[in-house]
């Protein structure tokens, strides 16, 4: 467990509050009493490598930039004085950019976002990046989660401590990258030793802008026209296969079906994407962040409202509304949420209102029978093929009816006629009852049409039904239940703390005995280091099984460590007047608060999901896929045909 208090460079004490999140490098906490500050505390072993960079960034007061969460103050361990992390401005009420560009998440994270807001958010990203470049930094690891967007389209760049920072002749490198946003010239290469440039960042920026303007589509994925399988994503990027490019003869790629294309953009934007993703860009030719600011600002002036739907906006250069096009082609797809009151998860949440919102989303009910929704039309006539098959059969049956009596007569004649007559009779019966191939073929076709319709009906039942809706609502009810149990759980855990005062005092007592200072036979400096790397730092951490689980630590070593712990335990005196440690109480309360905010987060997410499921199910019913009608008329034809063939 990490400490909760740290010292700043100036010597002030900083106390950490609730935990905001955790990444691969460290944990982010609220800074108590600071209002808008957060603190990132590195995981063990990671701090030292960042110390120089963080100190340089804080010293240069880069944090005067309001759009980047630069280090405000370095933080040091109270006891050892070792560098531990830094404070920075909190990115409150902001969501990662992938929740903005992806239509499914946008509905819940940014329910009122329109296309003009998306364009504005991207010019703000370009502004923030331009300001980073102006201060001697390069982002290096541009990605889906490092850009945080507020509901008003302003952005904050986070993870500034991974930026590359060149100052006073020193280069603090950026050693990370996210494959999807890494330019062709750096694909599949180690980042170590590479000096990152604004032109590299420009690739990541263009990718983000593209994905945001194209409903979350990745610029290098489309339909591959070359031989064999489409290359994997890293190679698509490395080979400049921009799927929307005019250079399709070279890229061998086409845009994905039914998606907007560069023709839907103002020419300067289309051209900028070609430069950003094509081979020319690799030699410093990509539009930089300042150029994108201008491009996107001018593009805003080209936005018009769709003449069919109020919540659709597009560039006036588009031949027609790209979102109407998509909504027609993908039944159930909603490009932008129609403006209606939607619950928004904020700081102060009215629980009753949240629960009411969850329960208030109307259940779309089971899907209606698809057949009932099909256009009424007069019963079809048997098809020509069937008529022909039938007349062929009638002909054969006629022949059989002649052949039969002939056989009878032959048999009546006696002698050799009997055998001949029998043969004729059998032949007649076979001809009469056997099904000729034409009829079987017509029957097969009709049955296939029936199966097709049944499949369509089932697909519709699923898509337009409420099974997923009900399941999601049931999950939400479980969450509500969980939340209502939280006060009881808090009370139970606080009571347990009271009861466990003795253990807690003992633990604090044992924590004063450091392994590093212990004199235990057979435990030298190297072994102490190993123990430390397994989180065994004080007598409180010593347990027989924990020790033997470590490689090269045998039972005898474990026993002497346990003996050392016992000796420490023997020095303990219980103080009945000492109450529960306020820190323990705070930690229980923080746990419960976190659980509560998790549940609230998931519940408010669920409201959006329920609304979407409900809307989608209804959309499937009103916006019927035209292929249903085709399947329906084929099915009706099949019914008639099967009847006409006496096969049903």
Partner 1 sequence: MSEMSYDQRPFGNAEFAENPENRCPVVLLLDNSASMRGRPMNELNTGLQVFRDELFADTLAAKRVDVAVVTFGPVKVEIDFVGAQHFHAPTLSTAADTPMGAAVEQALSLLRARKDAYKSNGIGYYRPWVFLITDGGPTDSISRAAQLVREGEEAKAFMFFAVGVEGANFDTLRQLSVREPLKLDGLRFRDLFKWLSASLSTVSKSRIDEAPALANPTGPSGWAVAG
Which range, of 114-122, 269-277, 453-461, 580-588, touches partner 1 by CB under 8 A? 453-461
Task: Determine the Cα–Cα distance for residues 83 and 41; give it in Å rounded to an integer.
Answer: 9
Q: What are phi and psi of 161, to 5 degrees?
A: -75, -5
The verdict on 225 binding partner 1 (CB under 8 A) reads no
Near partner 1 by CB under 8 A: residue from 425, 480, 610, 631? 631
Question: Cβ of residue 141: shortest distance to partner 1, in angstroms?
Answer: 5
Near partner 1 by CB under 8 A: residue from 298, 308, 471, 566? 471
List the structure tokens of 581: 């440690």
Near partner 1 by CB under 8 A: residue from 8, 34, 104, 112? 104
Q: What is the 3-state secondary structure (H, E, C) of 538-567?
A: EHHHCCHHHHHCCCCCCHHHHHHHHHHHHH
Near partner 1 by CB under 8 A: residue from 55, 77, 218, 290? 218
Query: Which residues 157-186 are close enough to bind partner 1 by CB under 8 A?
Result: 162, 175-180
Task: Determine the Cα–Cα distance for residues 640 and 443; give it in Å rounded to an integer.
Answer: 11
Report CA Rg, the chain: 36
The verdict on 141 binding partner 1 (CB under 8 A) reads yes
From its phi and psi, is residue 365 left (phi > 0), alpha (psi between -120 and 50) or beta? Answer: left
The verdict on 224 binding partner 1 (CB under 8 A) reads yes
Task: Determine the Cα–Cα distance for residues 30 and 37; give it in Å rounded to an integer.
Answer: 6
Query: Which residues 584-613 are close enough to bind partner 1 by CB under 8 A?
Result: none
Task: Determine the Cα–Cα distance for residues 251 and 244; give it in Å rounded to an integer.
Answer: 9
The verdict on 48 binding partner 1 (CB under 8 A) reads no
CA dist 11 → 36, 62, 119, 320 (Å): 20, 20, 44, 62
The verdict on 195 binding partner 1 (CB under 8 A) reads no
Near partner 1 by CB under 8 A: residue from 73, 161, 264, 616? 616
From its phi and psi, is residue 159 left (phi > 0), alpha (psi between -120 and 50) or beta? Answer: left
Q: Which is nearer to partner 1, 233 or 506 (CB)?
A: 233
Q: Which is nearer to partner 1, 6 or 273 (CB)?
A: 273
Question: Cβ of residue 409: shortest distance to partner 1, in angstroms?
Answer: 48
Q: What is the 3-state secondary structure (H, E, C) of 231-279?
A: CCHHHHHHCCCCCCCCCHHHHCEECCCCCCCHHHCCHHHHHHHHHHHCH
484 contacts: CB under 8 Å, gap ≥ 6? none
Q: Which is nearer to partner 1, 23 or 398 (CB)?
A: 23
Question: Cβ of residue 221: shortest distance to partner 1, in angstroms?
Answer: 4
**Window 534-563: contact mask with partner 1 (x via CB under 8 A):** x--------------xxx------------
Query: Which residues 293-312 are close enough to bind partner 1 by CB under 8 A?
Result: none
Question: Cβ of residue 216: shortest distance to partner 1, in angstroms?
Answer: 4
The verdict on 452 binding partner 1 (CB under 8 A) reads yes
Near partner 1 by CB under 8 A: residue from 29, 90, 217, 528? 217
Task: Determine the Cα–Cα distance for residues 522 and 567; give it in Å rounded to an integer.
Answer: 17
> Do residues 99 and 116 make contact, with C-beta atoms less than 8 angstroms apart?
no
Task: Determine the Cα–Cα distance for residues 491 and 415; give it in Å rounded to an integer.
Answer: 108
Q: Which is nearer to partner 1, 320 or 462 (CB)?
A: 462
How far is the first Cα of the chain from the last one, in angstroms, to the nearest whole number? Answer: 74
Query: Which residues 68-97 are close enough to bind partner 1 by CB under 8 A?
Result: 96
Task: Determine the Cα–Cα distance for residues 308 and 324; give it in Å rounded to an integer.
Answer: 8
The helix or strand, by DSSP H or E, that contains position 84, with its residue range, turns out to be strand 83-89
Question: Cβ of residue 119: shortest distance to partner 1, in angstroms?
Answer: 19
Applying CB under 8 A, the residues found at the interface with partner 1 are 24, 96, 98-99, 102-105, 141, 143-145, 162, 175-180, 190-192, 215-218, 220-224, 230, 232-233, 236, 243, 255-257, 259, 326, 329-333, 445, 448-449, 452, 456, 459-460, 462-463, 468, 471, 534, 549-551, 616, 625, 627, 630-631, 634
């Amino acid at each position: 467990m990490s400490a909760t208090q740290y010292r700043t460079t100036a010597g002030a004490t900083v106390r950490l509050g609730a935990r905001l999140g955790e990444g691969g490098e460290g944990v982010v906490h609220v800074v108590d009493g600071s209002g808008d500050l957060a603190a990132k505390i590195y995981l063990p072993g990671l701090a030292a490598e960042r110390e120089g960079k963080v100190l340089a960034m804080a010293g240069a007061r880069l944090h005067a930039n309001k759009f980047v969460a630069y280090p405000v103050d370095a933080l040091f361990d109270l006891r050892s004085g070792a560098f531990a992390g830094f404070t920075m401005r909190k990115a409150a009420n902001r969501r990662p950019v992938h929740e903005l560009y992806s239509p499914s998440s946008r509905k819940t994270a940014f329910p009122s976002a329109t296309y003009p807001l998306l364009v504005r958010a991207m010019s703000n990203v370009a502004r923030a990046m331009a300001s980073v470049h102006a201060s001697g930094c390069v982002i290096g690891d541009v990605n889906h989660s490092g850009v945080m967007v507020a509901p008003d389209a302003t952005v904050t760049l986070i993870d500034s401590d991974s930026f590359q920072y060149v100052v006073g002749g020193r280069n603090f490198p950026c050693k990370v990258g996210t494959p999807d946003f890494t330019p062709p010239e750096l694909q599949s290469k180690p980042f170590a030793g590479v000096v990152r440039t604004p032109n590299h960042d420009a690739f990541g920026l263009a990718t983000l802008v593209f994905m945001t303007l194209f409903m979350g589509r990745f610029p290098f994925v489309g339909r591959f026209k070359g031989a064999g399988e489409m290359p994997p994503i890293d190679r698509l990027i490395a080979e400049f296969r921009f799927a929307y490019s005019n250079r399709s003869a070279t890229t061998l790629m086409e845009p994905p079906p039914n998606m907007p294309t560069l023709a839907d953009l103002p020419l300067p934007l289309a051209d900028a994407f070609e430069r950003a993703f094509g081979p020319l860009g690799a030699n410093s030719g990509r539009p930089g962040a300042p150029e994108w600011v201008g491009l996107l600002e001018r593009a805003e002036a080209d936005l018009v409202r769709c003449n069919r739907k109020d919540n659709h906006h597009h560039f006036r250069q588009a031949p027609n509304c790209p979102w109407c096009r998509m909504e027609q082609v993908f039944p159930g797809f909603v490009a932008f949420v129609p403006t209606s009151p939607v619950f928004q998860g904020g700081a102060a949440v009215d629980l009753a209102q949240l629960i009411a919102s969850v329960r208030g989303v109307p259940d779309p009910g089971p899907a209606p029978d698809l057949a009932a929704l099909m256009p009424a039309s007069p019963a079809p006539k048997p098809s020509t093929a069937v008529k022909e098959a039938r007349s062929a059969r009638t002909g054969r049956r006629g022949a059989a009816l002649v052949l039969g009596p002939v056989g009878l007569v032959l048999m009546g004649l006696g002698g050799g006629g009997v055998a001949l007559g029998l043969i004729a009779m059998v032949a007649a019966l076979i001809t009469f009852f056997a099904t000729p191939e034409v009829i079987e073929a017509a029957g097969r076709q009709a049955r296939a049409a029936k199966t097709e319709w049944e499949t369509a009906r089932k697909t519709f039942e699923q898509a337009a039904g409420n099974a997923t809706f009900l399941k999601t609502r049931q999950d939400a009810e479980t969450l509500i239940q969980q939340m209502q149990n939280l006060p009881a759980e808090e009370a139970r855990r606080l009571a347990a703390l009271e009861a466990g005062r003795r253990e807690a005092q003992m633990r604090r007592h044992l924590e004063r005995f450091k392994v590093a200072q212990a004199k235990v036979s057979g435990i030298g400096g190297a072994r102490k280091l190993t123990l430390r790397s397994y989180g065994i730092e004080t007598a409180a951490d010593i347990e027989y099984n924990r020790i033997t689980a470590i490689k090269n630590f045998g039972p005898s070593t474990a026993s002497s460590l346990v003996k050392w712990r016992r000796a420490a335990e023997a020095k303990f005196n219980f103080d009945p007047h000492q109450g529960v440690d306020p820190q323990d109480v705070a930690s229980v309360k923080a746990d419960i608060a976190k659980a509560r905010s998790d549940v609230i987060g998931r519940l408010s997410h669920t409201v959006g999901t329920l609304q979407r499921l409900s809307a989608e199910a209804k959309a499937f019913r009103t916006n019927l896929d035209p292929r249903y009608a085709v399947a329906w008329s084929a099915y009706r034809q099949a019914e008639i045909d099967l009847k006409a063939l006496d096969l049903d």
